[in-house]
Amino acid sequence: MPKMTAVEAAVRVLEKEGVTTAFGVPGAAINPLYAALRAHGGIRHILARHVEAASHMADGYSRAKPGNIGVCLGTSGPAGTDMITGLYAAQADSIPILCITGQAPRAKLHKEDFQAVDIEAIAKPVTKWAVTVREPGLVPRVLQQAFHLMRSGRPGPVLVDLPIDVQTAEIEFDVDTYEPLPVYKPHASRRQIEKALSMLNEAERPLIIAGGGIINADACDLLVQFAETTGVPVIPTLMGWGAIPDDHPLMAGMVGLQTSHRYGNRTFLHSDFVFGIGNRWANRHTGSIESYTKGRRFVHVDIEPTQIGRVFNPDYGIVSDAKAALELLVEVAKEWKAEGRLKDWSAWAERCLHRKQHMLRRTHYDQVPLKPQRVYQEMNETFGRDVCYVTTIGLSQIAGAQFLHVYQPRNWINCGQAGPLGWTLPAALGVRAADPAREIVALSGDYDFQFLIEELAVGAQHRLPYLHVVVNNSYLGLIRQAQRGFQMDFEVSLAFENVNNPEVEGYGVDHVAVAEGLGCKAIRVKSPNEFKEAFARARALMAEHQVPVVLEFILERVTNIAMGTEIHNVTEFEEILCLDPSLTLEDVSGSVLRSNGADEAAGPAASAR
């Protein structure tokens, strides 16, 4: 049996499991693993500037392509605790990433040794598995189990903690006969699928809710086939956006309190049956369960048994991988359609499409400072169907989801549940590392951008070009908007007079200077007349220099973005486009128009323009 150190075996297992890239920061307690990486040479390493950022890079890498598992490495103590936010973000969105940390020697784990912390206990609540390996011979098998767990059932992250003396110990391991463990995914039965379709067939106004599990399962083509076979409109969740193209006639819009479309919410409120596949019923999507479920029957398909009934109990639940379920749904639906057993929902689908075409929010504004809606309009006009957007939380993300268009799976890469500020930039770098060819556009507010801004240097050093759109109002915009309920605007302004550059005009941080200081290129845009030239120049700079390019748009300080407390009570702050006066009051009700500067009512629910 061949002999090698435990970390040499670990590196070979990583390669056997398909790992080609790792993100991390070396340190004393993880240096043996780095030495094995260097000696073997088969895995590319990208040096982060912050260990939290390394975990977000691994997250973006995993989300970029089917089957990817991002790996991040860090030393003992604070490196592991820095990764906790990244682990939580991945766990919340069902993303597999592997974090490997160094640790103090086994004999000193309970002696308050320098940078020794019980990272296994800290990480357990935000991982599928967290383990400190105390026997060297277990290292390759623990990693084998880690990959099996990350891929099986509901995907998620794993943390493996390696004491330094475990890393350096010699073990026997035959890498030539190593095989990854089979992946476990539950499958729906035909009987279950027939029952679900029978329930669907009893509905008059059904909808399909397409969750991120469909994208995780690489089953978007099957979703579209199922929708087209039945003629049932599709509502993607924020994590499922792109599972059906935005311009598909059966894509009925998104539903929710924030990242939603007016037509999506209104169509949902008219529905009487909801077929959820690979979704979690997240509260930003549902609002109160009482309003969301009233007058509707529900079928829920999910890969995780304990997810069914967690938020509310559906009328029927099926434990299944989304792809396995959709394969059967398509098969049975086609059989029933050929036999004339499927109900005709074409009139309902036409009504949903009519709302989608006419219940719009206004985007064309010519003001200076810029209104954010105009930025998203210009992005829609500039970028093609293949562009990949990366973003996390804030008014920038909420408005982006309301106004941008996504046409393919994995082209909206969003940290949907945890929403940590700072995620966008390193995640975009991870996406670029996974996919050298795709056009990548990150979207941040100024505060998200500042959180881990130093990672721009990683993009410059490792030649990871992408375009970073920063919509700068020099505010914690989402928190400022929420503070309206407390009649305050307290500690949410980022504005100050920058003594080094009066050109930023009281907005504070000179993002252009910082980006250029970190080895990247940057452009500032203040006028609508500059949009087309700025986007063209940014693309040219990326092509020429192969580094991230920051495109900063100077916004008006205060713009409130549509959101509400219930899906039937979304507050609109800007003029509403209702392009078809034939829409009934029932169609356009449920929105309240309020002014941007105050809470008083400022106009009717809809106005034709």
CATH of the domain at 55: 3.40.50.970
Quick one: pLDDT at residue 108?
81
Query: Mean per-residue pLDDT for 566-591?
Result: 65
Point out the domain boundary residue: 153, 177, 201: 177
- Which segments of 446-510 are extended strands (E)? 467-472
Is residue 574 domain-resident? Answer: no
Residues 27 and 144 in one domain: yes
Cβ contacts of 341-348, under 8 Å, gap ≥ 24: 341/201, 342/201, 342/229, 342/230, 343/201, 343/203, 344/231, 345/205, 345/206, 345/230, 345/231, 345/232, 346/231, 348/204, 348/205, 348/206, 348/233
Length of the chain: 609
- Of 343, 358, 373, the residue at which a domain comes to its end is 358
Shared domain check, 270 and 333? yes
pLDDT digits 0-9 by tens, 183-232? 999 999 999 999 999 999 999 999 999 999 999 999 999 999 999 999 99
- The position carrying tokens 């040219």 is 540
CA nearest neighbour of 309 among 273, 280, 278: 280
CATH number for the domain spanning 328: value is 3.40.50.1220
Average pLDDT in the 153-162 region?
97
d(CA 398, CA 300): 26
Q: Which residues contact 517 (CB under 8 A, 6 or more apart)?
A: none
Q: End of a domain among 358, 376, 401?
A: 358
Q: Where are the alpha helices (DSSP H) in 301-416?
A: 322-338, 346-358, 372-382, 395-403
DSSP 526: -
Residues 203, 335, single domain; the answer is yes
- CA distance readout (Å), 269 to 156, 206, 211, 253: 33, 11, 19, 12
Side-by-side strand order, sheet with 206-210: 234-236, 206-210, 273-277, 297-302, 316-319
Q: Give the integer Cα–Cα distance in Å for 27 and 74.
A: 7
> Could you give the CA distance from residue 35 to residue 585 in angstroms, rounded to a whole number?
69
DSSP state for residue 370 in the 8-state scheme: B
Q: What is the pLDDT of residues 320-373, one digit of tens each?
A: 999 999 999 999 999 999 999 999 999 999 999 999 998 888 889 899 999 999
In a domain, 483, yes or no: yes
Q: What is the dihedral sign for C-alpha 260, 266, 267, 270?
A: positive
Residues 414-433, mean pLDDT to the nearest whole number: 93
Active site residue 476: yes
In a domain, 371, yes or no: yes
Higher local confidence (pLDDT), 110 or 468: 468
- Domain residues for the domain of 298 are 190-358
- Are residues 301 and 402 both part of a single domain? no
Task: Kindly state whether residue 338 falls inside one of the protein's structural domains.
Answer: yes
Per the residue annotation, which of 234, 476, 551, 588 is the catalytic one? 476
Residues 332 and 384 in one domain: no
Q: Which of 19, 25, 452, 509 is catalytic?
A: 25
Give the count of domains, the chain: 3
Is the residue at 589 inside a domain? no
Cα atoms found within 13 Å of the Cα of residue 245, Cβ hemisphere only: 11
Point out the catalytic residue in the list 421, 452, 550, 561.
Answer: 421
Compare 57 and 600 and report the one with higher pLDDT.
57
Per the domain annotation, does 346 fall within a domain? yes
| Mean pLDDT score, 461-468 | 97
For residues 349 and 236, give the distance between their C-alpha atoms in angstroms, rounded to a whole number. Answer: 15
In a domain, 18, yes or no: yes
Domain shared by 77 and 226, yes or no: no
Query: What three-state secondary structure class fits 5?
Result: strand
Instruction: Give the 3-state secondary structure of residue 473.
Output: coil
Interval 167-172 mean pLDDT: 95
Active site includes 523? no
461 with 391, same domain: the answer is yes
Burial level of 533, CB count in 10 A (0-12/13-18/19+)?
A: exposed
Mean pLDDT, the chain, whole residue set: 91
At 241-260, the pLDDT tens digits run 999 999 999 999 999 999 99
Would you state the pLDDT for residue 197? 97
Please check whether residue 328 is in contact with residue 229, taking contact to mean a CB–CB distance below 8 angstroms.
no
Are 312 and 420 found together in one domain?
no
For the chain, helix (H) and strand (E) counts, in that order, are 24, 24
Which tokens belong to 435?
């996919």
Contacts of 436 (CB under 8 A, 6+ apart): none
- Of 252, 257, 250, 298, the residue nearest 274 (C-alpha): 298
Is there a catalytic annotation at residue 37?
A: no
pLDDT of residue 578: 56
> Global pTM?
0.92
Check whether residue 453 and residue 354 sit in a common domain.
no
Q: What is the pLDDT of residue 337?
A: 95
- Asked if residues 389 and 443 have their Cβ atoms less than 8 Å apart, the reply is yes
- Compute the distance between CA of residue 476 and CA of residue 438 in angstroms, rounded to an integer: 31
Q: How far apart are CA 46 and CA 26, in angstroms?
A: 11
Residue 607 lies in a domain: no
d(CA 61, CA 56): 8
pLDDT of 220 = 97
CA angle 350, 355, 360 (to 5 degrees): 150
Four-CA torsion 197, 198, 201, 204, nearest 10 degrees:
-110
Residues 429 and 541 in one domain: yes
Cis peptide upstream of residue 155 (ω within 30 degrees of 0): no
Q: Nearest 5°: CA angle at 414, between 558 and 494?
A: 30
Answer yes or no: 479 catalytic.
yes
Q: What's the confidence (pLDDT) of residue 427?
A: 97
Q: Which of 109, 181, 360, 479 is catalytic?
A: 479
Phi, psi of 159 (to 5 degrees): -115, 130
How far is 574 from 586, CA to CA, in rounded Å?
Answer: 20
Do 494 and 527 reside in the same domain of the chain?
yes
Tell how far CA 581 is from the center of its chain.
37
Residues 406 and 550 in one domain: yes
pLDDT for 472 = 93
Query: What confidence score (pLDDT) does residue 480 get?
Result: 86
Please provide the DSSP assignment of 236-288 as one string: E-TTTTTSS-TTSTTB----SSSS--HHHHHHHHH-SEEEEES----HHHHSS
Q: Which member of 37, 51, 224, 443 is catalytic?
A: 51
